[in-house]
Amino acid sequence: MTIVRVIFGQTAIMFLIMLIGFLCFRVGLVDESGSQQISNIVIYISNPALLLNSFIGNLKASQMLDGLWCLIILIVMMLVTIAFAKLFFRKPEQMLIRFALIFANLGFIGLPLSKAVLGTGSVFYMSIFVGVSNFSLWTYGIYMISGDKRTIQLKRLVVNPAILALVFGLLFALTGVTLPPILGKTVSDLANMNLPLVMIAMGCYLAQGNIRSALKSKALYQAIGARLIIAPLIVLVILQFVPNHFMMVKNVILLGQATPVAALMAIFSHTFHRNALFSTTVVGLTTLCSLVTIPLFMGLAQWLWHL
């Protein structure tokens, strides 16, 4: 159960950094525009640097085959999760709950947590998860919240920082090309900024929500339960049929699916006027609650997979 102890320790660190972000916002050290700017740094700089840094010179031939299986499992999982969301949260007013069930916070939380808990080698598989999720987010996800198919813009995927970092990272890994030492150290240092910046941003998101009012909403608890309990349970059942030979892939997929609601839920909701306050609160509270549920699900998985 070493992995569970590591996750408990890592989530404790994440909680403390998130608390700092929360306090920074509440005392006025960071405002709403500042928290958005921190998020932008994560999205456009530190997160792509983490992807790129993890691929350079580290990808093995065996990982390519495992990566293909990872992609197949992720597609099946995504389709099953979408079908489940449509079946059990079919009412129009439950649209944000469906979104919460389907889309996890892989770029913000999944990538840095995967690296910290499972090691650098896991980032390749998590990046595949990020790619599948980003494609779904900017197509089906944005359509869910906007209600307008015209908002689906595939060109955004082409210039998506995570996708670009994945493409260039794969090119470096396959060709064996390495960066000059100074440039490589720069990318590495930027990658190491990712987790602290992510948790400070999440703390600011949590501070922006009207928690006292939101706690009275039944929909809030449904969204939290959908994201942090139902979604991991779905993938845990699917992964029971995957051989333990793919243990790293299984751990990465479960860890990713156990992460909080995608931060884009709040951004999309604000853009299309779909109860942005509710979405921001869901993002913040699922982030907070996931510090407990992620270790619990990973511990349950380790017990099931080693029976």
Q: 207-211, 223-227, 290-294, 303-307: which has the minimum mean pLDDT?
A: 207-211
Q: What is the pTM of this model?
A: 0.81
Task: Report whether pLDDT(1) > 60.
Answer: no
pLDDT digits (tens, 9 = 90+) for 263-275: 778 777 877 878 8
Crossing angle of helices 231-239 and 247-257, rounded to 10°: 170
Q: What's the pLDDT at 277?
A: 75
**Residue 3: what pLDDT?**
67
- pLDDT computed for residue 225 by the predictor: 96
Q: Considering the domain 2-305, what is its CATH architecture?
A: Up-down Bundle (1.20)
Q: HSE on the CB side for 177, CA within 13 Å?
A: 10
Q: If pLDDT is split at 50, 70 and 90, which confidence band does 88 have?
A: very high
Across all residues in the chain, what is the average pLDDT?
85
Model pLDDT, residue 199: 81
Residues of 283-295 as b/e, b for ≥16 C-beta within 10 angstroms? bbbbbbbbbebbb
* 8 A C-beta contact, residue 187 and residue 169: no
Higher-confidence residue of 232 and 45: namely 232
**What's the pLDDT tens digit per position in 105-164?**
887 788 888 888 888 788 889 888 988 888 888 788 888 888 877 766 667 667 778 778
What is the predicted pLDDT for the residue at 226? Answer: 96
Average of per-residue pLDDT across 28-56: 83
Residue range 203-210: mean pLDDT, rounded: 78
pLDDT at 56: 67
pLDDT of residue 59: 62
- Number of other CB atoms surrounding residue 207 within 10 Å: 21
Considering the chain, what percentage of its residues have pLDDT values greater than 90?
31
- Positive or negative, the Cα torsion across 165, 167, 231, 251? negative
